[in-house]
Amino acid sequence: MNVINIALKDLRILFKDRGALIQLFLLPLLFIVVFSGALNAIGQDEEDTRILLPVVDLDGEEAAMTLRDALDSAGGVRVALYTQAEAQTSLDERAIARVLTIPENFTADLAADRQITLHLVNHPDANPEQTEAVRLVVEGVAQDMALESQILASLRQMGDMQANAPESFQVFTAERAIAQARSQFERSRTHPLVVLNQQIPAQEEAARENMPDAAQLAVPGFAVMFVFLTAQTTARSIYDEKKIGSFCRLLAAPMSKAALLAGKMLPNFITGMIQLTVIFGFGIIGLRLLGLTPMTLGNTPLVVALIAGLVALCSSSLGIVIAAIAHTENQIGGLSSLILWGMGILGGSFIPLFFLESFLGPMVKIVPHYWANHAFNDLMIRGLGLAGVTTEIAALLGFAVLFFAIGVWRFDFD
């Protein structure tokens, strides 16, 4: 009863603070609306999924530029122009997987019908399927250019042979024939006679189902972020109790110190659960009313609720740690901002996890926000159930126990 009475008192104080209510409930909804709209707008632009092909052009003449343009428009690769030094450095640092070098005198040698060697260097760690795809594209484009050059050379030879013929036999000059051939070559690139349309319906449908929507990323991410921000409320509440002297009276109550801290955690836990209910409810109903794509809770809403409870529990325990470390109001504010916003950014509340993991690797796993966001993504986006998030559940529970143990150990009860 003492724990419940402490919690009820703190909740009454909290819900009288209009500023705190705006920060806890209104601010996350504004963030969700802004980011969902921005992500939806970005998502409307078609993503370029072509394979990056860095090109070093040592020739720089007309034929080399034609080769680069043809490679870029072939449909499989995206050409990016590099200097030789930039390409070598990027290849050594694994920033790029391959580089194509167009040799000097490429244009002159092609016009003179001399053999040319293009150099495609692939990093040993390059994706073999992409390497083969790039090779086929380069070979196809190069062979087309060689064939066109040979056809034009043949037309020139025919023109030279016909030059000595009587004028009545010279129906078409070599210049007219070459111009006509070039026109046909250009038309074949923009309007090919044969096109290939490949479809894999099952895979295309699965890809659409697995494509995360803006709301599916923004709503749980900001929910986790703002629930953890309530840890500052717990720390500040304890500081205020000490400041006015009521904490000493609480210590005189017939209950253990751990129970006393649990009583200070309970309001934060309840507030966090209310926050998550409001934020998720807004993601499901509010976004639809605003004309944005709503979020879904996946196939197992009860497991989502379980993760939400663990997030609130972690936040409450973290508030005890902050109260144990900080000794002044300024320290609570500064330390809370540094820890909570830093954890939120590192844990994927602002930046999608797949992007963070590709740059920071396992470092993102050191904060509870990562495990919470990962669990929500598995449940809401990938459609997994309880068995698919057992690791995340264990991690969040471990963080909650660790935070509470550190808080009890380091807390100054005097």
Q: Report the alpha-carbon angle 321-327-328, nearest 5.
A: 125
The last residue of one of the domains, among 171, 198, 225, is 198
Residue 168 sits in the same domain as residue 232: no
Predicted local confidence at residue 25, as pLDDT: 72
Predicted local confidence at residue 302, as pLDDT: 94
Q: How many domains does the chain have?
A: 2
* Distant-in-sequence, close-in-space partners of 23: CB < 8 Å, separation ≥ 6: 226, 229
Q: With a cut of 70, list the residues of the chain below it in pLDDT.
A: 1-11, 13-15, 17, 20-21, 36-48, 148-215, 244-255, 412-414
- Looking up residue 123, the CATH number of its domain turns out to be 3.40.1710
For 78, the 3-state DSSP assignment is strand
Residue 252 sits in the same domain as residue 395: yes
Residue 359 sits in the same domain as residue 405: yes
Predicted local confidence at residue 287, as pLDDT: 82
Residue 160 sits in the same domain as residue 298: no
Residue 283 belongs to domain spanning: 2-43+207-410
The last residue of one of the domains, among 153, 180, 198, is 198
- With contact defined as beta carbons under 8 Å apart, do 259 and 320 qualify? no
Predicted local confidence at residue 207, as pLDDT: 39
Query: pTM of the entire structure?
Result: 0.57
- pLDDT, tens digit (0-9, with 9 covering 90-100), for 240-255: 777 766 666 666 666 6
For 100, the 3-state DSSP assignment is strand
How many Å from the N-terminal Cα to the C-terminal Cα in the chain? 23
Residue 254 sits in the same domain as residue 363: yes
Residue 124 sits in the same domain as residue 227: no
Residue 250 sits in the same domain as residue 387: yes
Residue 216 sits in the same domain as residue 281: yes
Residue 86 sits in the same domain as residue 106: yes
φ/ψ of 312, rounded to 5, equals -65, -40
| Paired sense of beta strands 119-122 and 98-102, if any | antiparallel
Predicted local confidence at residue 232, as pLDDT: 84
Residue at 409: amino acid letter: W
DSSP 220: H
The last residue of one of the domains, among 165, 198, 231, is 198
Predicted local confidence at residue 196, as pLDDT: 40
Predicted local confidence at residue 242, as pLDDT: 73
Residue 321 sits in the same domain as residue 256: yes
Residue 245 sits in the same domain as residue 312: yes
Burial of 269 (0-12, 13-18, 19+ CB in 10 A): buried
Residue 191 sits in the same domain as residue 213: no
* Helix (H) / strand (E) containing 312: helix 301-325
